[in-house]
Amino acid sequence: MTMHKPAATRNPPDGGHSSNGRILVAAEELFSAHGFAAVSINDIALRAGVSKANVFHHFATKNALYLAVLRRAQRDAAAHLHSLEQDTGPLPARLASFSGKHLLRLLEQKQLSRLILRELLAIGPDRARELAENVFGENFRHFVLILRAGQQSGELRSDLDPAVMATTLLGANVFFFEAQTLLRQFWDVDFADSPERFTTTLIEIVLHGICPIPRNVQEKFRPAVGSTDSSTPGVPARRGQKRRQRPH
Amino acid sequence: MTMHKPAATRNPPDGGHSSNGRILVAAEELFSAHGFAAVSINDIALRAGVSKANVFHHFATKNALYLAVLRRAQRDAAAHLHSLEQDTGPLPARLASFSGKHLLRLLEQKQLSRLILRELLAIGPDRARELAENVFGENFRHFVLILRAGQQSGELRSDLDPAVMATTLLGANVFFFEAQTLLRQFWDVDFADSPERFTTTLIEIVLHGICPIPRNVQEKFRPAVGSTDSSTPGVPARRGQKRRQRPH
DNA sequence: ATTAAGACTGACCGACCGGTCAGCAGGGGA
DNA sequence: TCCCCTGCTGACCGGTCGGTCAGTCTTAAT
């Protein structure tokens, strides 16, 4: 009945140099790299340069700390994706821009991305709703809305579910991110280290498909998508030393 | 110097009802659902109906058990994906068939898929090579080969990297799988429980793009893709939610 | 100077971890 | 019959886990 647990879930004031912030940062790094269960409070305390007891001073339980990290990640992601909105220019160019930035963001924030993808593999329907509403929901819906508008203005085919369009585009990006290490192993693949090249081709595929486009319509109906780069991606000649040697 | 550790890594004889097999099955289930670190040997022993010491009788360490599970999963996956090849019919139809089967396989073997995806999030370049060669390598390369052949025969555009085509298709499927629970939360999405519907639209997107196709070429250049099947297995209504606790 | 309230710590707790070990049951060869 | 081998178990080990607690240090208002 002492009730001297002052902290529980303090509001996280800063992001870096208070103890609270350092704990959050350390926890994010470790959870992202190794997963929830594989990281001990001691690890986090050590990396944050505080005592283990201090971690429990700021966060009631390990789980609460994990949730705090997740929430911060969600907030960051949502905030950043907000800035991706761009309402000028033709829709294909906007899609290309969005997709490119989305992939870049995934790669820049490896930790965060991995954290969320890990979470995706473990959640049940209950937490799915929270994630859906707090992180992806708004952006996904916004994306779908843009696509739907494009359908009504005639810029996009209206016989396709826009949500599938969105899933395809985002899914390809996410997969590129999580399989990047793996893609590097294939000699067929020379874009593993060049997200720009991947994005360019991906957008071209999603916009116009992989089936041949007859000559007479080719130019009329294929809006350029920025990237005045004259060289087509083509079947890329083997890039400079990509040769990965087998150890034996 | 007693050397009485008889088992170490016994060859796994069967898949189901010997102790060895039951341990492997239990381990696969638990590792898939919760990850390596979150599962204790005791959990596995309990689920397999054997003593904890018996687990160590068959597998030298927890890590060895995990590797055995992974190896079995890889073997299964590789074996099954072999059966996806289908060399008759026009290329678009074959792609549709392949993609559909691939997605179905992902969903049927949730455990396996999750296990491998989890692994994908944690590996360094060293283990990436193993995964790449044992599980995905052959199939991915084969897939790319088919696409490249399609390019040379004129069935596919030759100005696009076939590896990106493959990545796009497979990536969309994988993302559909891992985000399924999340997709169910969006009202925009009505295909979350109907992989067939998703596959159909996905293939249409990848083949012909999301940009409008002018009338005069619409029929001439858009090969049908079979799948006159109109009945989907239906949206199985809301699943009875099984309460799963956060890891602790 | 006194007080009160965080921020913070070292020592500690019971539970459980991965892993070991001596030994039991039983079946087949001699 | 004896013996040995294999599959298997309960008891146990040192260590680490998440979490608690009594108490110190710092700061600022009284």
Q: What is the mean pLDDT of residues A150-169?
A: 94
Q: pLDDT tens for residues A11-70?
A: 444 556 788 999 999 999 999 999 999 999 999 999 999 999 999 999 999 999 999 999
For residue A162, is pLDDT > 70?
yes
Q: What is the CA radius of gyration of chain B?
A: 22
Q: At what angle do helices B110-122 and A162-178 cross, to 10 degrees?
A: 50
Q: Longest C-alpha distance within chain A, in Å?
A: 82
Dist CA B128 CA B123 (whole Å) = 6
Dist CA B9 CA A89 (whole Å) = 62
Return phi, psi of residue B59, to 5°: -135, 130
Q: Which residues of A touch B247 (CB under 8 A)?
A: 36-37, 122
Strand-pairing partners, residue B59, are B9
> Is there a contact between A137 and B186 if contact means CB atoms under 8 Å apart?
yes
Provide the positions of strand C that have an atom within 7 A of a protein CB: 5-12, 16-22
| Residue B219: per-residue pLDDT | 54
Distances (CA, A) of B84 to A168, B77, B89: 22, 11, 14
Query: For an interface test with B, which of A39, A182, A203 has the most B Cβ atoms less than 10 Å from its Cβ?
Result: A182
Q: How far is the CA of B171 from the C1' of D2 (A)?
A: 65
Which among A102-111, B2-11, B208-217 has the top mean pLDDT?
A: A102-111
Q: What is the mean pLDDT of residues B98-108?
A: 90
CA distance to partner chain B, nearest, from residue A114 (Å): 7
Q: pLDDT tens for residues A116-126?
A: 899 888 887 77
> Are the C-beta atoms of A183 and B167 separated by less than 8 Å?
yes
For residue B217, is pLDDT > 90?
no
pLDDT band at B224 (very low <50, low <70, confident <90, very high): low
Query: For an interface test with A, which of B152, B176, B210 has the most A Cβ atoms less than 10 Å from its Cβ?
Result: B210
Q: pLDDT tens for residues B54-101?
A: 999 999 999 999 999 988 887 877 776 666 666 678 888 888 888 998
| Residue A222: per-residue pLDDT | 55
Q: H or E segment at A52? A: helix A52-58
For residue B171, how many other CB atoms are within 10 A of its CB? Answer: 24
CATH topology of domain A86-225: Tetracycline Repressor; domain 2 (1.10.357)
Provide the positions of strand D that have an atom within 7 A of a protein CB: 6-12, 16-22
Q: pLDDT tens for residues B142-161?
A: 888 889 989 999 999 999 99
Q: Which residues of B touch A128 (CB under 8 A)?
A: 181-182, 184-185
Q: Which residues of A touch B160 (CB under 8 A)?
A: 201, 204-205, 210, 233
- Among B104, B121, B103, which residue's Cα sits nearest to residue B35? B121
Q: How far is the CA of A48 from the C1' of C2 (A)?
A: 35
Q: pLDDT tens for residues A58-96?
A: 999 999 999 999 988 888 877 777 776 666 788 888 889
For residue B239, is pLDDT > 60?
no
Alpha helix ranges (H) inside B4-51: 19-34, 41-48
Class for the domain spanning A8-83: mainly alpha
Dist CA A107 CA A216 (whole Å) = 39
Q: With a 7 Å cutoff on the CB, does B62 touch strand C?
A: yes
The listed CATH number (1.10.760.10, 1.10.357.10, 1.25.40.10, 3.40.30.10) that belongs to domain B86-218: 1.10.357.10
Q: Is B20 exposed, middle or buried (0-12, 13-18, 19+ CB in 10 A)?
A: buried
Q: Residues 35-94 of A near strand C (Cβ < 7 Å)?
A: 50-54, 57-58
Dist CA B213 CA A189 (whole Å) = 30
pLDDT band at A212 (very low <50, low <70, confident <90, very high): confident
Q: Which residues of B touch A219 (CB under 8 A)?
A: none
> Is there a contact between B132 and A34 if contact means CB atoms under 8 Å apart?
no
CA dihedral angle for residue A17, residue A21, residue A27, residue A29, rounded to 10 degrees:
-50
Q: What is the mean pLDDT of residues A170-197?
A: 93
Q: Is B45 exposed, middle or buried (0-12, 13-18, 19+ CB in 10 A)?
A: buried
Q: What is the CATH number of domain B1-82?
A: 1.10.10.60
Query: For an interface test with B, which of A30, A111, A211 has the most B Cβ atoms less than 10 Å from its Cβ?
Result: A211
Which among A236-245, B99-108, B210-219 has the top mean pLDDT?
A: B99-108
| Residue B44: per-residue pLDDT | 97
Q: With a 7 Å cutoff on the CB, does B53 touch strand C?
A: yes
Average predicted confidence (pLDDT) for chain B? 79
Q: Which residues of B touch A74 (CB under 8 A)?
A: none
Boundaries of every domain in chain A: 8-83, 86-225
